């Protein structure tokens, strides 16, 4: 670990692994031309796209790692993930069985979990 000298105090810089293990909020939405777009707003310019949700999330993980590694090597500030403590991120939702079935079938075709698919749909309409 590197140390920084600020006002004669030794402050240890967290390791690269520390930053790579942080969980950043992701914004995901369908691209009007097909596929999906995903970004991490806490890391300026960190965005990507893919044909499927699975590909998009894999691409975003790679983009996040490259963003953090580049900033770390340049000794640039790496923002910590933003949080919003007033929301748990959990929601109980009742829906008709037929809608549940259609959503589950579509998420299976996309190769993602039902929760991830529903989040992508909600992200698209909440922009």
For the entire predicted model, the pTM comes to 0.61
The CA dihedral of 59, 50, 104, 88, to the nearest 10 degrees, is 50
CA 17 to chain CA centroid, nearest Å:
17
pLDDT of residue 89: 76
Tell whether the model's pLDDT for residue 106 goes beyond 70. Answer: yes
Share of the chain above pLDDT 70, in %: 87
Cite the beta strand spans of the chain per DSSP E.
3-6, 9-12, 27-30, 36-39, 47-50
Domain boundaries, the chain: 3-82+91-125
Q: Is it the case that residue 105 has pLDDT exceeding 90?
A: yes
**Higher pLDDT, residue 9 or 30:** 30
Q: Which fold has domain 3-82+91-125?
A: Double Stranded RNA Binding Domain (3.30.160)
Residue 37: φ, ψ to 5°: -120, 140
CA 26 to chain centre: 3
Q: In whole angstroms, give the CA distance from residue 39 to residue 28.
A: 7
pLDDT at site 1: 47
d(CA 17, CA 63): 15
């Amino acid at each position: 670990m590197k140390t920084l000298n600020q006002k004669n105090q030794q402050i240890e810089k967290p390791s690269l692994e520390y930053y790579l293990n942080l969980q950043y909020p992701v914004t995901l939405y369908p691209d009007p031309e097909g596929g999906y777009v995903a970004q991490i707003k806490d890391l300026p310019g960190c965005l990507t796209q893919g044909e499927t949700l699975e590909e998009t999330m894999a691409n975003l993980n790679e983009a996040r790692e490259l963003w953090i590694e580049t900033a770390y090597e340049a000794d640039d500030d790496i923002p910590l993930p933003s949080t919003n403590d007033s929301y748990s991120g959990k929601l109980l939702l009742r829906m008709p069985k037929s809608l549940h079935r259609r959503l589950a079938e579509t998420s299976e075709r996309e190769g993602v979990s039902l929760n991830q698919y529903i989040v992508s749909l909600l992200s698209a309409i909440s922009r």
